C-alpha cells in the first residue's frame, strides 16, 4: 500500500491541492487551530468522503472554510449585527460562526440543519489554498478536524497521517499549529448568541465585542452531546489530579506496579518515577499549543492511566479545561 502523501506546502503543492479539491478529492491542510480534512463544500459526494475517511456519522455538520470574510454572504442568508461584529474583529482567525444557511447549502454540510458553520482561517497555507481554490471557481472548503472520529485533533501533518493513513490523498505540511485547539464556535440561530464551543478566541474577547457574554442556550440535537457511543480520546483512561497530590499519587500507583503516564504542569517529576512524564508549558496559550501532541505521545506510552495535573479554575483556561474535561470523562463532541 502506498502511504499518504505528506508534501511541503510550497506554492506549487498548494496549487495542485486546490485542483485536487475542485476535482472532488480530499486534502488535509494546516490551519492556525488544528489540521482540517477538506473537500469542496459544493460537492456533496466529496463531503461524503470526509465522513468515510474519518469514520464519522454522516449527520454531523462540518464547518465551511472561506478565503475572505466577504464570502460569508454566499453561504449565510442572514448575518446578524453581532455576528458581523465578531467577523470583523476575529476573521481571519480561530472563530466559527453558525448562521442561517443560504438555500443552496447542502445537507451533507449542515447535517440537515437550517444553519451552516463558517470560518475564515488565518494560517497562511490555509489562506493560500482557499484563494487558489476560489480562483478555480470554488466557493468554500468543508473541513472538520483531520482526525479519525474519536481521537484528539491533529496539530501536525504526521498526526493526520497516523490517524487517516491512506484515506486522505494529500496532506499539506505547514508545520505544527500555532493555537493547538479548535476554533471558538458562536451560534446566531436563536434569539441570543450562543457559545457552542470555547476555543482559540477567548470568551472575554467575544464578550467585549458583543457587549456581554453570549447567553443563549445550546439547544442542539442529542448528536452534538456526549450521548453517542463510548469511545473517546485519548484511548488510555485519563483523569484529572489536583497539583497538591499528583506527586504522591504517581508514586503510589507506581509502587502498585500500575503503569502511569503523566501530563504535569507545575509539579516536578519525582526522582523515583521513571515512567512517561510530560512537562507542559505553564501559560494557557502555550499549554493549548502543546496539548494534543502531548496527549498523543502519552497515549502511545501504553500506560494503564494518564494522570493530568489539573489546570487553574480561571476564565483564561476555559477552552483548555473544556478539552481536559472531555478527555477525562469520555464525553467528547470534539471527537468530531
Span between the terminal Cα atoms of the chain, in Å: 27
**Binder of residue 119, out of Mg ion, ligand TXA, none (CB less than 5 to 8 A by kind):** ligand TXA
Question: How many residues belong to the chain?
Answer: 336
Return the residue nearest Mg ion (CB atom). Answer: 145
Q: Which is nearer to ligand TXA, 141 or 261 (CB)?
A: 141
Contact between 61 and ligand TXA by CB under 6 A: the answer reads yes
Closest approach of Mg ion to the CB of residue 10, in Å = 27
Single residue of 17, 26, 28, 34 touching ligand TXA by CB under 6 A: 34
The owner of cell 500555532 is 178
Closest approach of Mg ion to the CB of residue 144, in Å = 5
Contact between 63 and ligand TXA by CB under 6 A: the answer reads yes
Contact between 178 and ligand TXA by CB under 6 A: the answer reads no
Contact between 336 and Mg ion by CB under 5 A: the answer reads yes
Helices (H), 74-228: 81-90, 107-110, 124-135, 157-164, 203-210
Single residue of 145, 170, 189, 328 touching Mg ion by CB under 5 A: 145
**Binder of residue 116, out of ligand TXA, Mg ion, none (CB less than 5 to 8 A by kind):** ligand TXA
Contact between 163 and Mg ion by CB under 5 A: the answer reads no
Residue 145 near residue 336 (C-beta atoms within 8 A) = yes
Label the pairing between strands 95-100 and 115-119.
antiparallel
Q: Which is nearer to ligand TXA, 41 or 262 (CB)?
A: 41
Contact between 194 and ligand TXA by CB under 6 A: the answer reads no
Q: 281-288: which pairs have CB atoms within 8 A and are 24 or more residues apart? A: 284/311, 284/316, 284/317, 284/320, 285/179, 287/311, 287/320, 288/179, 288/180, 288/181, 288/200, 288/319, 288/320
Contact between 20 and ligand TXA by CB under 6 A: the answer reads no
Closest approach of Mg ion to the CB of residue 50, in Å = 11
Contact between 124 and ligand TXA by CB under 6 A: the answer reads no
**Which residues between 207 and 266 bind ligand TXA (CB under 6 A)?**
220, 224
Q: Which is nearer to ligand TXA, 121 or 247 (CB)?
A: 121
Residues 165, 130: Cα–Cα separation, whole Å: 24
Contact between 86 and ligand TXA by CB under 6 A: the answer reads no
Q: Where are any strands of DSSP class E within the chain?
A: 5-8, 27-29, 36-40, 63-65, 95-100, 115-119, 141-142, 170-173, 184-187, 194-197, 238-241, 260-264, 276-279, 305-309
Using CA atoms, how far residue 150 sits from 48, 233, 258, in Å, is 18, 6, 25
Query: Which residues of this chain interact with Mg ion, rule CB under 5 A?
Result: 145, 336
Query: Which residues of this chain interact with ligand TXA, rule CB under 6 A?
Result: 31, 33-34, 36, 60-63, 94, 96, 98, 110, 113, 115-117, 119, 143-145, 182-183, 185, 196, 220, 224, 333, 336
Amino acid at each position: 500500500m502506498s502511504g499518504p502523501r505528506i508534501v511541503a506546502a510550497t506554492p506549487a503543492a498548494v496549487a495542485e491541492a486546490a485542483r485536487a479539491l475542485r476535482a472532488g478529492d480530499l486534502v488535509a491542510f494546516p490551519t492556525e487551530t488544528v489540521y482540517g480534512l477538506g473537500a469542496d463544500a459544493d460537492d456533496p459526494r466529496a463531503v461524503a468522503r470526509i465522513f468515510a475517511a474519518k469514520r464519522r456519522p454522516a449527520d454531523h455538520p462540518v464547518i465551511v472554510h472561506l478565503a475572505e470574510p466577504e464570502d460569508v454572504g454566499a453561504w449565510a442568508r442572514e448575518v446578524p449585527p453581532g455576528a458581523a461584529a465578531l467577523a470583523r474583529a476575529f476573521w481571519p482567525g480561530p472563530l466559527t460562526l453558525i448562521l442561517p444557511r443560504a438555500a443552496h447549502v447542502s445537507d451533507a454540510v449542515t447535517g440537515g440543519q437550517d444553519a451552516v458553520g463558517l470560518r475564515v482561517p488565518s494560517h497562511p497555507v490555509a489562506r493560500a489554498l482557499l484563494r487558489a481554490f476560489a480562483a478555480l471557481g470554488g466557493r468554500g472548503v468543508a473541513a472538520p478536524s483531520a482526525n479519525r472520529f474519536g481521537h484528539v485533533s491533529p496539530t501536525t501533518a504526521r498526526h493526520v497521517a497516523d490517524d487517516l493513513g491512506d484515506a486522505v490523498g494529500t496532506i499539506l505540511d505547514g508545520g505544527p499549529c500555532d493555537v493547538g485547539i479548535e476554533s471558538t464556535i458562536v451560534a446566531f440561530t436563536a434569539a441570543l448568541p450562543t457559545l457552542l464551543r470555547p476555543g482559540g478566541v477567548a470568551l472575554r474577547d467575544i464578550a467585549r465585542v458583543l457587549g456581554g457574554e453570549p447567553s443563549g442556550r445550546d439547544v442542539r440535537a442529542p448528536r452534538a452531546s456526549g450521548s453517542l457511543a463510548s469511545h473517546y480520546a485519548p484511548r488510555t483512561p485519563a483523569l484529572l489530579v489536583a497539583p497538591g497530590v499528583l506527586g504522591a499519587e504517581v508514586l503510589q500507583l507506581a509502587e502498585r506496579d500500575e503503569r502511569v503516564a503523566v501530563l504535569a504542569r507545575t509539579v516536578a517529576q519525582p526522582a523515583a518515577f521513571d515512567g512517561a512524564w510530560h512537562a507542559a508549558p505553564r501559560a494557557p496559550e502555550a499549554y493549548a499549543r502543546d496539548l494534543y501532541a502531548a496527549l498523543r505521545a502519552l497515549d502511545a506510552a501504553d500506560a494503564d492511566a494518564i494522570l493530568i495535573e489539573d489546570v487553574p479554575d480561571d476564565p483564561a483556561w476555559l477552552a483548555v479545561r473544556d478539552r481536559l474535561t472531555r478527555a477525562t470523562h469520555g464525553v467528547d463532541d470534539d471527537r468530531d
